[in-house]
Structure 1
Amino acid sequence: MNMQATTSSLKALDQAHHLHPFTDFKAYAENGGRVFSRAEHIYIYTSDGHRMLDGMSGLWCCNLGYSQQGIIDAVTEQMNTLPFYNNFFQCSNQPAIELARALVEVTPERFQHVFFTNSGSEANDTNLRMVSRYYQLQGRPEKKFIISRNNAYHGSTIASASLGGMKPMHQQSNGLDYVHHIDQPHWFELGAEEDPDAFGIRVARQLEQKIDELGEDKVAAFIAEPVQGAGGVIIPPDSYWPEIQRICDERDILLIADEVICGFGRTGKWFGSETYGIKPDLMTFAKAVTNGYQPLGGVMVSDKVADVLMSESYEFAHGLTYSGHPAAAAAGIATLKILRESNIIEEAARTLAPHLQSRLQELTDHPIVGQVRGRGMFAAVELVRDKGSRERLAPNSAAAVFCRNTANEIGLMVRQTGDAMIMAPPLVSSTEELDSLVEMLGQALDRTAAHFGA
C-alpha cells in the first residue's frame, strides 16, 4: 500500500471510530484531521510527509524534544525487567522509590513526600482528597471550600474541571459545589487601563474578599498555576504572587501550585513557584516529568501537610492502579537525570528564553498584534484589529483560528486560545530554530491580516 493510501485509510478509520479530546465530534467525523507518524529532535511529521516545527512541545510536555534515547532505553529495560506491579497493599517497586527520591532532590526542601498519579487531572483530584483529610485530622472538617481562578485549567475529570475556570467545561457538566472562582490576573484583558502592579494587587485581593464572603473557617485552599498555560499564557504582574502568598499565610489557607505546565524548566527555573517566589503547601506535577514519553503525574506534599496526614494511623482511601507504574517511573528517572546533568534548564534560561522573547517582541509592531507576553520558554501573541481599543479581528476568535491553521500549513505547530496564539517550544531548540518559529508565525500573521482586511 502506498503512503497516500495508508494515510487515507488511517484517516478514515480515525474518523469512524476515534473520539478525540476537546474536539467537535460531528465536525471531525466529517472533516478529519492530521495523523502524525514520526518525530525527531523538535520536528513532527504527518503520515503524508508534512514536517512541522513543534512550537508546543507536544502538549507542553516534550521539553527535551523527541530524540532522547536515554529515556527510551530506560523504559525498554524496565519493561524487560518488571513491566508492571501495583503499589497497593504495602507493595512498591524500585523505579517508583528512586523517582520519589529524585523528585524530592529537585524540589524545594519542604517537600519530602510524593503521591504518584498518571496525569495532572488525577493529581489535582488527589489534592482535594489530601486537603479534605488534612482538615479532618485537625478536627476542622468544615473547611472544605476551594478557591480557584476564572479561565484556569486544572484538568478534565469532574473534580479537576470544577477546579478549572473555563466556561465551556462548566457548561457541559455539573461541577463540585464547593469550588469558587475569582478573576485571573490577565492585565491585557481585564485591566489594561490600570498600572500593571496596581492591577495585580487588586486582583490578588479578590482572594481575600472571597475568603471573607465564604468565611475563613470554611475555606480550605487556593489553587493556581504560576502562569496560566492553557488559558492563554497569562503572565501575572510582579505584584500578584507576593500578595497571594501573604493572604494565604495570614488567613490559614493552603496554597496549591499547579506546576503541570510550568514545571521542569518552562519558566527558567525548575518550577514556576521558584520563579515567582511562591511557597506552596502542595504542588501538582505531570507532563514534562517524563518528557511526555510515559503518562505520569503526582503531588509533592509539603512537610506541613504530610506531618498531619501521617500523624494518625488510618488508611488513606485513595489510589490508582497505575500509581508509580515502574515503566513510567523509569522514564521520569531518566528525564530528571538528563535535566540535572546537562544544565539544559539553566542554558535555556540564560540563552534561549531571552532570544525567544526578544524576537517575539519584534512582532508588537505588526498591525494585528495587540500584545506579546511571555516568560521563560513560553509566550502568547494577542490578536486585535485596533491596538488602542483592543477590538478583536473577528467574532468567536475566528481570526486566531485562521492564524493557527495557516501557521500549521506553513510548517509551525502552535495553538490558539481565545484570540491569542500560544507557544512553548522545546528547551533543546537552537536560536536558529527559534528564529524560524518567529518567522513562520510572522508569515501567518501577515496572511491573517490580509484575509481579515486589517
Structure 2
Amino acid sequence: MSSDLPQTTEDILAADAHLVQSWADLNALKQTGARTAIVSAKGVMVRDSDGNELLDGIGGLWCVNVGHGRKEIIDAISKQLSTLDFYSTFYTFTHPTAAALAKKLAQLAPGDLNRVHFSNSGSVANDGAVRILHHYYERLGRPSKKLVLSRHGAYHGSTYLSIAMTTPPYSKGWSRAEGIVRHLRKPHFWREGGDMTEAEFLNALIDDMRTEIETVGAENIACFIQEPIMGAGGVIVPPKGYHRRAQDLCRQYDIKFVADEVVTAFGRLGHFFASEAVFDTRPDIINIAKGVTSGYQPLAATIMTDEIHDVISGPDGVFTHGMTYAGHPAGAAAGLANIALMETEKLPERVRHTGPIFENTLRALGDLDIVGEVRGSHFMMGIEFVKDKAKKTLFDAGLNIGMRVARKAQDKGLVARPLGHILILSPPLTLTEEQIAQIGEILRESITEVMGELPRGAF
C-alpha cells in the first residue's frame, strides 16, 4: 500500500540509508541533501518529494522514450499480470507475449536478425552475446576464437564480463574478467584527432584495428562490440563511415560484428534500430534494453542472425544459457505496448524532426566560454566543459563542473546527468519544441551562473 511508504523527504531519505545506489559516490550520499527522491512522473515531467516539478532531461536513464505515465503500457502490464503473472521461457516452455514480442523484434531488426534471446538488462545482453559467440565457435570446432575487441571510451555494462568490455577507467579498483578483451583506440576526433583531418583520423582508427587483429590473430578473436554512439563514455560519435569500415574489416577477418544498441535503438536517433538506418551496417548481433519497454519493465534481448542460431541449435548439444526472468510476461507485454504506441504515434519519424532541433539548441551553447564541445545526435547529447577552448584543457577535477551545472539546472527545473566534466542529456522523445527551448534556456542560465561563481583564474 502506498500509505505504508515513507511520504516526507526526511522519512524517504531515512529509509534510503539502507539502499545502496548504483554508480554513486556512496560516501557523498552520507551527506545531508546529497540525494533527490523522485515520487511521481507524467509525460516529460517528474516530481520530487519536496513538490518540485522537473523536466526529465535524462529520460530516467536513457530509457523513458515515450514519456512517463503512458496508460497504454500500464494497462498492458496490468492485463498481462491478471492473465499470466509469470512463467519462464526455459526448457520447452514459452508463452504468447514473449513469442509475439520476439516475432515483432525480428520484423523490426535489419537483415536476418531473426532470433531473439531475452534477458533483463543491457549488461546481461552484452555479456550473453559474447557467451553465445564462444559457444558458437566451440560448436564450429574453433575454440580459440575467444577474444573480444572493444574500445577505450566504451560502456557495455557492469557484469564481470561486460565491465571488462567497458572502458578501463570504469573498472578502476574493481576486478573484471581478464585476458578476454582488447581495447582499441577511442574514436573521438575532437579530442584524439590531433593535427589530422577527420578522414585521416578515420584511417588511423581502422589501421589501429587492423594492427590489433593481425597482432593477436584473427583466429583468436570472436567479435568486435561497439555502440553506434558511445553513451556513458561521453556521448562520442565516431567519424562518418567508421562503422561500415569497421564492419567490412570484421567480415574480411571472419570476426562477428556486434552492435550494442541499448541506448540508440527504439527511436532515440529517429529509427527503431540505428545500425542500418543511420550507420549503414548489418550486425551479426544487436543487443537491446532500455527503450524496448521505455523503462516500464526490465527487459533486454540479444538478437542474432539465423546463421548463428543454426549453429547453436544444431544436434548434440543443449543451449545452457539463460535467466529466470528472460521474456517475463509483464516485460514482454510492456515491450509490445511500447512498440505499438511508437508506431501509432510515429514517434521515430517525429524524432527525425524534433531531434535536430534539440541538437541545434544545445549546440548553440557552444558560444559560452567553458563549453568545449557539444556532441551527439538527436536526443542523445553531451556537453563537455573545458577551461581553455583552444587547448581543450580540462578543469581541475575538484571543481566538479558537470555536477555544478547539473545542480544549477535542477534548481531551475531540469534534471541533467553530470559525468565528471561532461553533462549528458537524453530526454523522453516526446519533447515539444517549446520544452526543447526551455531546456536550452535553463542550461544557458545554469552554465553562465557556474562561470560567474568559479574562482578567479579558473578559466
Aligned counterpart, 1:382: 384
Aligned counterpart, 1:23: 24
Q: Is the 8 A contact 2:149 2:223 kept in 1?
A: yes
Structure holding more helix per residue: 1
Superposition deviation, residue 175 in structure 1: 2.6
The match for 2:291 among 288, 291, 314 is 288
Supply the distance in 2 between the matched residues of 1:134 and 1:87 (Cα, whole angstroms). Answer: 21
More displaced 10-residue stretch of structure 1: 389-398 or 94-103 = 389-398
SS in 1 for 2:102: helix
Superposition deviation, residue 161 in structure 1: 0.7
Aligned counterpart, 1:242: 244
1:124-161 CA-partner distances (Å, limit 9, x unpaired): 12111111011111110011111101121111110111
Superposition deviation, residue 418 in structure 1: 3.4
Supply the distance in 2 between the matched residues of 1:312 and 1:418 (Cα, whole angstroms). Answer: 51
SS in 2 for 1:171: coil
Q: Is the 8 A contact 1:232 1:418 kept in 2?
A: no
Q: Indicate the RMSD between aligned Cα atoms, in angstroms.
A: 1.7
Aligned counterpart, 1:189: 191
SS in 2 for 1:255: strand
Q: Is the 8 A contact 2:76 2:337 kept in 1?
A: yes
1:47-77 CA-partner distances (Å, limit 9, x unpaired): 1111111111110000101031100000000
Structure 2 counterpart of 1:376, one-letter code: H
Q: Does 1:304 align with 2:345?
A: no
Supply the distance in 1 between the matched residues of 2:104 and 2:417 (Cα, whole angstroms). Answer: 32
SS in 1 for 2:61: helix
Aligned counterpart, 1:207: 209
Q: Is the 8 A contact 1:197 1:239 kept in 2?
A: no
Q: Does 1:114 align with 2:111?
A: no
Structure 2 counterpart of 1:64, one-letter code: V
Superposition deviation, residue 166 in structure 1: 3.9
The match for 1:220 among 204, 215, 222 is 222
Question: Would the alpha carbon gap of residues 4 and 440 (structure 1) be closer, same or farther in structure 2, given more than 3 Å must change?
Answer: farther
1:404-443 CA-partner distances (Å, limit 9, x unpaired): 2221222111112232211112111101101111111111
Q: Does 1:323 align with 2:326?
A: yes
Superposition deviation, residue 451 in structure 1: 1.7
Superposition deviation, residue 340 in structure 1: 1.8
Superposition deviation, residue 284 in structure 1: 0.4
Superposition deviation, residue 341 in structure 1: 2.0
- How do 1:93-132 and structure 2 match up within 5 A? 93-132=95-134
1:239-264 CA-partner distances (Å, limit 9, x unpaired): 31122112101111001100000011
Q: Is the 8 A contact 2:241 2:279 kept in 1?
A: no
SS in 2 for 1:260: coil
More displaced 10-residue stretch of structure 1: 416-425 or 218-227 = 416-425
Q: Is the 8 A contact 2:9 2:37 kept in 1?
A: yes
Supply the distance in 1 between the matched residues of 2:70 and 2:122 (Cα, whole angstroms). Answer: 23
Supply the distance in 1 between the matched residues of 2:292 and 2:394 (Cα, whole angstroms). Answer: 37
Aligned counterpart, 2:280: 277
Moved over 3 A (4+): none
Question: Would the alpha carbon gap of residues 173 and 396 (structure 1) be closer, same or farther in structure 2, given more than 3 Å must change?
Answer: farther
Structure 1 counterpart of 2:157, one-letter code: G
Q: Is the 8 A contact 1:116 1:298 kept in 2?
A: yes
Q: Is the 8 A contact 2:355 2:379 kept in 1?
A: yes
Superposition deviation, residue 27 in structure 1: 2.1
Supply the distance in 1 between the matched residues of 2:61 and 2:363 (Cα, whole angstroms). Answer: 24
Supply the distance in 2 between the matched residues of 1:5 and 1:279 (Cα, whole angstroms). Answer: 49
Supply the distance in 2 between the matched residues of 1:226 and 1:343 (Cα, whole angstroms). Answer: 22
Aligned counterpart, 1:268: 270
Question: Would the alpha carbon gap of residues 60 and 169 (structure 1) be closer, same or farther in structure 2, given more than 3 Å must change?
Answer: same
Aligned counterpart, 2:140: 138
Aligned counterpart, 2:347: 344
Under a length normalisation based on structure 1, what TM-score does the superposition of the two structures give? 0.96
1:248-298 CA-partner distances (Å, limit 9, x unpaired): 011110011000000111112222212111111011000010010000001
Q: Is the 8 A contact 2:401 2:420 kept in 1?
A: no
SS in 1 for 2:161: helix
Q: Is the 8 A contact 1:7 1:48 kept in 2?
A: yes
Supply the distance in 1 between the matched residues of 2:20 and 2:86 (Cα, whole angstroms). Answer: 28
Under a length normalisation based on structure 2, what TM-score does the superposition of the two structures give? 0.95
1:28-58 CA-partner distances (Å, limit 9, x unpaired): 1233401110001001110111111111111
Structure 2 counterpart of 1:308, one-letter code: V
- Give the % identical residues: 34
Q: Is the 8 A contact 2:163 2:176 kept in 1?
A: no
More displaced 10-residue stretch of structure 1: 26-35 or 360-369 = 26-35
More displaced 10-residue stretch of structure 1: 198-207 or 270-279 = 198-207
- How do 1:368-407 and structure 2 match up within 5 A? 368-395=370-397, 398-407=400-409
Aligned counterpart, 2:337: 334
Question: Would the alpha carbon gap of residues 444 and 192 (structure 1) be closer, same or farther in structure 2, given more than 3 Å must change?
Answer: farther
Supply the distance in 2 between the matched residues of 1:396 and 1:264 (Cα, whole angstroms). Answer: 37
Structure 2 counterpart of 1:26, one-letter code: N
Supply the distance in 1 between the matched residues of 2:450 and 2:221 (Cα, whole angstroms). Answer: 46
Superposition deviation, residue 450 in structure 1: 1.1
More displaced 10-residue stretch of structure 1: 291-300 or 182-191 = 182-191
The match for 2:182 among 180, 183, 194 is 180
Aligned counterpart, 2:58: 56
Question: Would the alpha carbon gap of residues 252 and 440 (structure 1) be closer, same or farther in structure 2, given more than 3 Å must change?
Answer: same
Query: What are structure 1's unaligned runs of at least 5 residues?
Result: none
More displaced 10-residue stretch of structure 1: 276-285 or 182-191 = 182-191
Q: Does 1:446 align with 2:445?
A: no
Q: Is the 8 A contact 1:201 1:243 kept in 2?
A: no
Q: Is the 8 A contact 1:204 1:241 kept in 2?
A: no
More displaced 10-residue stretch of structure 1: 246-255 or 201-210 = 201-210
SS in 1 for 2:232: coil
Aligned length: 451
Supply the distance in 2 between the matched residues of 1:4 and 1:341 (Cα, whole angstroms). Answer: 38
Structure 1 counterpart of 2:317, one-letter code: Y
Superposition deviation, residue 12 in structure 1: 1.2
Supply the distance in 2 between the matched residues of 1:83 and 1:241 (Cα, whole angstroms). Answer: 41
Q: Is the 8 A contact 1:146 1:222 kept in 2?
A: yes
Aligned counterpart, 1:80: 82
Supply the distance in 2 between the matched residues of 1:355 and 1:89 (Cα, whole angstroms). Answer: 48
Query: What are structure 2's unaligned runs of at least 5 residues?
Result: none
